[in-house]
Amino acid sequence: MERILLVEDDRDIAELERDYLELNGFAVDMEANGRVGLERALAGAYDLLILDIMLPELDGLDICKAVREQKEIPILMVTARKEDIDKIRGLSVGADDYIVKPFSPSELVARVRAHLTRYKRLTAVAREEARVQELQHGNLRLLPEARRVFLAEQEIHLPNREFELLEFFLRHPQQVFSKEELFEALWGAEAVGDISTVAVHVKRLREKIETEDAPHIETVWGTGYRLCKI
């Protein structure tokens, strides 16, 4: 069940909104004070916020701005004022939508549903993109963010430079790189050193990730190295 925090200082309006939302399957917490509302929004595991603009101690715009700095949940702003500048201000501090009083409770529920559906879809896409960030080549799998490498689902540990070298090859499949290009890409254009160190690192990396029947990096004679075709 999705949890909603409703920050509204008009108790009659707040209770009406809460009742409609709860009838439609949402769990709703209410708060009338802006400062306390911000504290609860940051501390609680809420799926969506509904913020009135005019609130005691801290207005809805300030709450929205502070929450948006830490969380990506949907935020719906509510106000009795119809001026476009208020809508612009709300959206500029990170609100996802804006609704002007008076409005029907069914419209509020519809907008809440729409934003939660959109948020779930975007979250699912983000999770899929994170999964796709895994780099794979045959029986070799590298997780860039976690800095972990698995060979035939057994984790292997690589020193930083060998990890970076492997990640570089996996991100550029079928491209051939000379020792000079690899040295510049991994050590930096301003680095001082011998490019022969590239061959040493490639050799050490191969010893850890390859077998005779499962090669990963091939030498292109006279040119450099590239990832093997699978």
Residue 216 sits in a domain of what CATH number? 1.10.10.10
* DSSP per residue, the chain: --EEEEE-S-HHHHHHHHHHHHHTT-EEEEE--HHHHHHHHHHS--SEEEEESS-SSS-HHHHHHHHHTT--S-EEEEES---HHHHHHHHHTT-SEEEESS--HHHHHHHHHHHHHHHHHHHHHHHHHHHHT-EEETTEEEETTTTEEEETTEEE---HHHHHHHHHHHHSTT--B-HHHHHHHHH-TT--S-THHHHHHHHHHHHHH-BTTB--EEEETTTEEEEPP-
CATH assignment of the domain containing 97: 3.40.50.2300
Judge if 171 and 101 occupy the same domain: no
Give the model confidence (pLDDT) of 211-220 as tens digits: 777 789 999 9
- pLDDT number for residue 22: 96
Of the residues 106, 130, 154, the one at which a domain ends: 130
Task: Pick the last residue of a domain from 113, 130, 147.
Answer: 130
Domain with 140 in it: 135-227
Lowest mean pLDDT among 22-26, 123-127, 165-169: 123-127
The domain boundary, picked from 130, 160, 175, lies at 130
* 173, 125: one domain: no
pLDDT single digits (tens) 139-189: 999 998 888 999 988 999 988 889 999 999 999 988 999 999 998 888 775
